[in-house]
A and B are shown apart, each in its own frame.
Chain A
Amino acid sequence: MNFGLTEDQSGILAGLEQLLASKAPAAPTEPVFAAYAADLDKAIAAAGFLDIAREEGFGPLEAALIVERITRLPCSIEAAASALVAPALPIPQGTRPIALVSGDGSKAARFLPMAELLVVDRGDDALLIRVDPDNVAPVETLFAYPYGRLKSLENLEQTVVSDVAGLRRRWRIAIAAEAAGCMASALALVIDHVKTRQAFGRPLGAFQAIQHRLAMASETAESAKWLALRAAWSDTDADAAIAAGFAQSRIAQITYDLHQFSGAMGLTLEFPLHLWTYRLRALAGELGGSGAQSRTAAAAAWPDVA
């Protein structure tokens, strides 16, 4: 047991920091619902960060560390599916961005407007669909990801994958790592806000009612992070479902609290809070939401003995 980074892990994250410092866009100046950073997305992929799990001596843990860090940015980058899900499926290196969806190919999916591949979890198997950009209609949403849906399901170039369990396991780890990153940044923004915003002659953050809920929010964010990293390390169904389910189960409370403490400012697009909280709210319902994860965790933790 060691919660510290190895030298290699520190080196990888330091390299990522360097790239982010030089390439990360400033927070959007125009009010936007979703800030997709196309150039940064490409730069991160070109530098190889999203292929780390395919490299000798590394795996999903390093990928999750990278995803968690990238997700803390106030813009969206398609990192989780590329770094965590793709290496577990027969998806060639470099095929990305990748959109993930449950049910059938007609559902709206995150990152579909710029995706090269759409992965559809159909229940008993999965489809890998090569995306023709002309076949994608953008979807307007409050969720702070670019969303789109396929206009037609005819004449698709697709392959069938049978390892749905592997897909879901990594997808759950991806949800957990992304949620952890979003929670950390959203919380940090609101903590800064309550330290400076004055009401009734003192900073908002000096009120115990607010302090307690922020301390609980911090417990949520830290739990989400460590459960996500453990799940990435063990790469087991139980840990993955526990991590994703825990994060999803806390999203309603943490997003409510963080908006609440930001007041009306938190309802504007000018204040960047929604760039994290509306990614969290999008993640809350993925793969069936916390209830589905909870039942999966229960089934994995307490398998029926034949």
Chain B
Amino acid sequence: MEFGWTAEEEAHRANVRDVLDRMLPADWESISVHGPGSDEQTAFSRVFCPALADEGLLIPHWPKEFGGEDLPVWRQFILAEEVWAVGEPRGPQYMNVNWIGPVLMRFGTQVQLDKYLPPIKAGQAIWCQGFSEPSAGSDLAALRTSAVPTKGGYRVTGSKIWTSYAGQAGTCFLLARVPPSGGGPEGKAGIVILLTDMTSPGIQVKQIPALIGEGDIHEVFFDDVFVPAEERLGAEGQAWEIINFALQHERVGIPRYEFSRRILDRAVAKLKAAGKWADPIVQDRAGRALMLCEAARMLVYRVVDSKARDLPPDAFGSLARWAVVSADNGVNDFLTEFLPDGLLGEDPLQQAHHQRAIAAGVASGAAEIQLNLAARRWLELPGEARR
């Protein structure tokens, strides 16, 4: 048992920090405040990601056969901590390298790999995930958008909501249902994944103004949109397996506690400079926020450790996600109470953290779903249906 870093890991972290120091412009904070989905940050990502690729830091965790370096799991995670902590300069492209690429490698056809991997590796691709619908959020299996089989492909009709990055995306990782009239089975088995060109006729994107930042959530309407059959990922009936694989990569992919920890460090420095640190209540509350960040870090590390040691997957990630949400909120609550001026125009980065923290328990599925999963799969409690 060992809770420190190897010399190689330390050197890797130092290198990532050095690269970020060199590559982030002086006005990076003002770019990053709008959130990863904003026009500014998306445009910046198209410059930043190719430069990151030149440094060997865009896809080093991918397998060598796909252009990566088979970077060990921990070093991959150190990279994730460092880029998230500075406000995610990869913008929406973090999603590509974290899970879209790996999912394609696992389930894609050669034609799909040849088409989609090069732009991801070049740092130019923007994807969105067409998962949630007006009546299917965390309950993904309830989705209704239909994909009616037709000659050479599918005709897609329906709508998606809360879709991040849709305004900028070239391709949508779209979930739709083959209706019973089209031969689709009921439930999860009827879902297909269609890699959908966002410039296809019949797609309309509408941004939804929100508390959480610009470009983060949209409605996407599909009106009889044709998607060629060769754009289906995996077989019909295989979508649920692919989605689970994708979600596993996605959920532990973002070390949110690291951004929270650094914002907290920064807040304490500001409170000290303002002469407010001597108050024991301020110290107590800061210490409690710190504890939440470190608890989240340890539980996430426990998940990463399992992956690094190639242990069989378990449901611990659900506990870790709850801890991460608690840490984001704990730090945000502290800042909102003791540094309210930060949300009154004085500190754009604090506002950016606030906007991410309030979405932490909702983004990528309600955190309460993780409690359900932890109860059933980690604690092995009986299902609700057993009456």
A residues sitting closer than 8 Å to B (CB atoms) are 1-6, 9, 61, 65, 191, 194-195, 201-203, 205-208, 211-212, 214-216, 218-219, 222-223, 226-227, 229-230, 233-234, 239, 241-242, 245-246, 249, 290-291, 293-299, 301-302, 304
A257 vs chain B, min Cβ distance (A): 13
Q: Contact at B288–A233, with CB atoms within 8 Å?
A: no
Q: Does B294 contact A (CB under 8 A)?
A: yes
Number of interface residues of B (CB under 8 A): 54
Return the contact of B299 from the options A206, A222, A297 (Cβ within 8 A).
A222
Of B5, B283, B372, B383, which is in contact with the most chain A CB atoms at under 10 Å from its CB? B283
Assess A294 versus B287: contact at CB under 8 Å? Given A1-B3, A3-B1, A211-B371: yes
* A202-B386 in contact (CB<8A): yes
Is A218's CB under 8 angstroms from B378's CB? yes
**Known contacts A3-B302, A211-B372, A295-B280; A223 and B1 CB within 8 A of each other:** no
B386 touches A223 (CB 8 A): no
- Does chain A have a CB within 8 A of B312? no
Contact between A294 and B291, CB atoms less than 8 A apart? yes
Contact of A245 with B298 in the complex, beta carbons under 8 Å: no
Q: Kindly list chain B residues whose C-beta atoms are within 8 Å of the C-beta of A1.
A: 2-5, 9, 74, 301, 304-305, 308
Q: Which residues of B contact A294 (CB under 8 A)?
A: 283-288, 290-291
Whether A291 pairs with B284 at a CB distance below 8 angstroms is yes
Q: Are A206 and B3 in contact (CB under 8 A)?
A: no
Q: Hey, which chain B residues are within 8 Å of A297, CB to CB?
A: 287, 290-291
A24 CB to closest chain B CB, in angstroms? 24
Q: Which residues of B contact A211 (CB under 8 A)?
A: 371-372, 375-376, 379, 381
B28-36, B49-57, B315-323, B348-356 - the one binding chain A: B315-323
Interfacial chain B residues near A207, Cβ < 8 Å = 384
> Can you name 25 A-B residue pairings with CB atoms under 8 Å?
A1-B9, A6-B1, A194-B381, A195-B382, A202-B387, A203-B382, A203-B386, A205-B382, A207-B384, A211-B371, A211-B379, A215-B322, A215-B378, A223-B323, A229-B3, A233-B2, A233-B4, A234-B3, A234-B4, A242-B291, A246-B295, A294-B288, A298-B283, A298-B286, A302-B265
With contact pairs A212-B368, A214-B379 given, residues A223 and B299 touching in the complex (Cβ less than 8 Å):
yes
Q: How far is B268's CA from A215's CA once the two chains are assembled, in angstroms?
A: 32
- Whether the pair A9, B1 counts as a contact (CB closer than 8 A) is yes
B374 with A249: CB separation less than 8 A: no
Which chain A positions have C-beta within 8 A of B299? 219, 222-223, 226
**Closest chain A CB from B315 CB (angstroms):** 10
- A residues less than 8 Å from B285 (CB atoms): 294
Please tell me if B151 contacts chain A, counting CB pairs below 8 Å.
Answer: no
Smallest distance from the beta carbon of A286 to chain B beta carbons, Å?
Answer: 16
- Cβ of B22 < 8 Å from any Cβ of A? no
The answer on a CB contact under 8 Å between B288 and A245 is yes
User: What chain A residues lie within 8 Å of B302 (beta carbons)?
Assistant: 3, 222, 226
How far is A229 from B302 in the complex, measured between Cα atoms in Å? Answer: 12
Select the residue from A1, A233, A246 with max chain B CB neighbours within 10 A: A1
* Segment 158-185 of B: residues with Cβ below 8 Å from A: none
The CA-CA distance from A299 to B283 in the complex, in Å, is: 8
Q: A203-B386, A211-B381, A239-B294 are in contact. List 15 more A-B contacts (CB 8 A).
A: A3-B305, A9-B1, A191-B379, A202-B386, A203-B381, A206-B382, A208-B384, A215-B319, A215-B372, A218-B379, A234-B4, A249-B288, A294-B286, A298-B286, A298-B290
Which residue of chain B has its CB nearest to the CB of A297? B287
Q: Is the interface of A mostly helix, strand, loop or mixed?
A: helix
Which residues of chain B are within 8 angstroms of A65 by Cβ–Cβ distance? Answer: 1
CB distance from B4 to the nearest CB of A (A): 7
Q: How far is the CB of A281 from chain B (nearest CB, A)?
A: 19
Is B262 part of the contact surface with A, judged by Cβ < 8 Å? Answer: no
Nearest-Cβ distance from residue A241 to partner chain B, whole angstroms: 8
> Are A245 and B291 in contact (CB-based, < 8 A)?
yes
Q: Are B323 and A215 in contact (CB under 8 A)?
A: no
- Partner among A191, A194, A206 whose Cβ is within 8 Å of the Cβ of B383: A206
Interface members, chain B 246-289 (any A CB < 8 Å): 265, 268-269, 272, 280, 283-288
Chain B 108-156 interface residues, beta-carbon cutoff 8 Å to A: none
Q: A246 to B291, Cβ gap below 8 A?
A: yes
Residues of A within 8 A of B380 (CB): 191, 195
In the complex, what's the smallest C-beta–C-beta distance from A305 to chain B, in angstroms? Answer: 9
| Nearest CB in chain B: distance from A58 CB, A | 12
Q: Which A residues are CB-close (under 8 A) to B294?
A: 227, 239, 242, 246
Q: Are B3 and A219 in contact (CB under 8 A)?
A: no
Bound CA–CA A221/B72 (angstroms): 29
Among A206, A241, A298, A304, contact of B381 (Cβ-Cβ < 8 Å): A206
| B4 partner residues in chain A, CB cutoff 8 A | 1, 233-234
Closest residue of chain A to B280 (Cβ to Cβ) is: A295
A206 touches B386 (CB 8 A): yes
Q: How far is the CA of A79 from the CA of B2 in the complex (A)?
A: 23
Complex contact B318–A215 (CB within 8 A): yes
Contacts of A218 in B (CB 8 A): 319, 374, 378-379
Contacts of B9 in A (CB 8 A): 1
- Collect the chain A residues with CB atoms within 8 Å of residue B1's CB: 2-6, 9, 61, 65, 229, 233
Find the B residue at minimum CB distance from A202.
B387
Contact between chains at A215 and B3 (CB < 8 Å): no
Cα distance, A297 to B293, chains bound together (Å): 12
Q: Is the CB of A4 within 8 A of B309?
A: yes
Contacts of A223 in B (CB 8 A): 295, 298-299, 323
Task: Give the CA-CA distance A267 to B258 in the complex, in Å.
Answer: 41
Residue A191 contacts which of B3, B370, B381 (CB distance < 8 angstroms)?
A: B381
What's the Cα separation between A299 and B308 when bound, in Å? Answer: 34
CA A306 to CA B1, docked complex, whole Å: 36
Q: Which residues of A contact B280 (CB under 8 A)?
A: 295
Q: Which residue of A lies closest to B321 (CB)?
A: A219
Within 8 A of A (CB), among B47-82: 74
B283 contacts across to A, CB distance below 8 A: 294-295, 298-299
A61 contacts across to B, CB distance below 8 A: 1
**Residues from 352 to 378 in B contacting A, C-beta threshold 8 Å:** 368, 370-372, 374-376, 378
Task: Give the complex CA separation of A195 and B368 in angstroms.
Answer: 21
**CB-based contact A295/B374 at 8 Å:** no
Residues of B within 8 A of A215 (CB): 318-319, 322, 370-372, 374-375, 378-379
Q: Bound state CA distance, A61 and B382, in angstroms?
A: 36
